[in-house]
Homo-oligomer: A and B are copies of this chain.
């Protein structure tokens, strides 16, 4: 049994709490959140108790921490947890500064802590199966990857303000997915972006529409197409082309119904909300954490994955601002 302290009782914290509770090998023991009513409510739902950070970290009962608090607390909590010999799961990103990420991961390494970053999409059954097929040589030598990733609608200004910007907040998932699927490092990145969806986003100094091209060490190329608003639900598609053909994952829908009428043949639009779309992914992500914790599988969704994705976000931002293709330095 893995005894877990959860930091953060917001939306994503609640997802993990629920999955931890349902998992036969996990137990939610403590909830930590400065907003006590929220922490208490969550703790009550799952027979856990609300404690302070220090208490949770010092408790010998606790095996692992799940960090779902605001981004600017991640690095500090990771370092603390590592120093207390806890296994760590942290929502992405580790930090909005790659420098700070490096420092944080140095502590993790020094303490030899188990650290897993929450790139949930890797664990989506469709994408995981696609990755598996690529590994089994179903498309031959990988050549070009297209990731289309559009949110259903733009978030509020406050969210944008704290997000770190589109590349670090949204595209970061796609950077990781591209690296995950190619199983390669990126040599160079070229990014274009605009604010087309919502003027308030521009006022926050951010963009809402982006296209990024990645060049991989193996020679393969990837394009990421992002928008903060699709108009038709949560658009999450991948197609990967190789020397033998193509594999693609289509959008997940709430049903397979079709209505044929004088207007045409109507199918359902994609699922609208990430919690619904990636419900199974969050469950599989927890399972992976458990498997890594129990020593069954090597951890590939680690701090390095978090750092590399953040470096790609920074390089994309620089490319977008300078109009230049940015080469990634060897790490």
Interface, chain A (partner B; CB < 8 A): 125-126, 129-130, 133, 138-141, 143-144, 146, 148, 150, 188, 190, 192-197, 209-211, 213, 215, 219-221, 223, 225, 227, 229-232, 235, 241-252, 254-269, 319, 323-325, 327
User: What would 16 A/B residue contacts be, using CB atoms closer than 8 Å?
Assistant: A126-B256, A130-B257, A133-B257, A139-B259, A141-B196, A193-B221, A194-B221, A195-B219, A211-B223, A231-B241, A232-B246, A247-B259, A250-B256, A250-B258, A260-B269, A264-B267
| Residues of chain B within 8 A of A146, CB atoms compared | 146, 148, 225
Question: How many copies of the polypeptide does the oligomer hold?
Answer: 4
Tell me which of B213, B251, B252 contacts A192 (CB under 8 A). Answer: B213
A327 closest partner in B (C-beta): B323
Cβ contacts under 8 Å, A229 to chain B = 243
Partner of A268, one of B192, B232, B252, B264: B264
Contacts of A247 in B (CB 8 A): 257-260
Are the CB atoms of A265 and B223 closer together than 8 Å?
A: no
Residues of B within 8 A of A139 (CB): 259
- Establish whether residues B262 and A255, one from each chain, have CB atoms under 8 Å apart when the complex forms: no
Contact A259 B144 (CB under 8 A): no
Contact A245 B220 (CB under 8 A): no
Give the residue name and chain of the B residue nearest to A324 (CB).
Answer: B324
Q: Chain B nearest CB: distance from A41 CB in Å?
A: 17
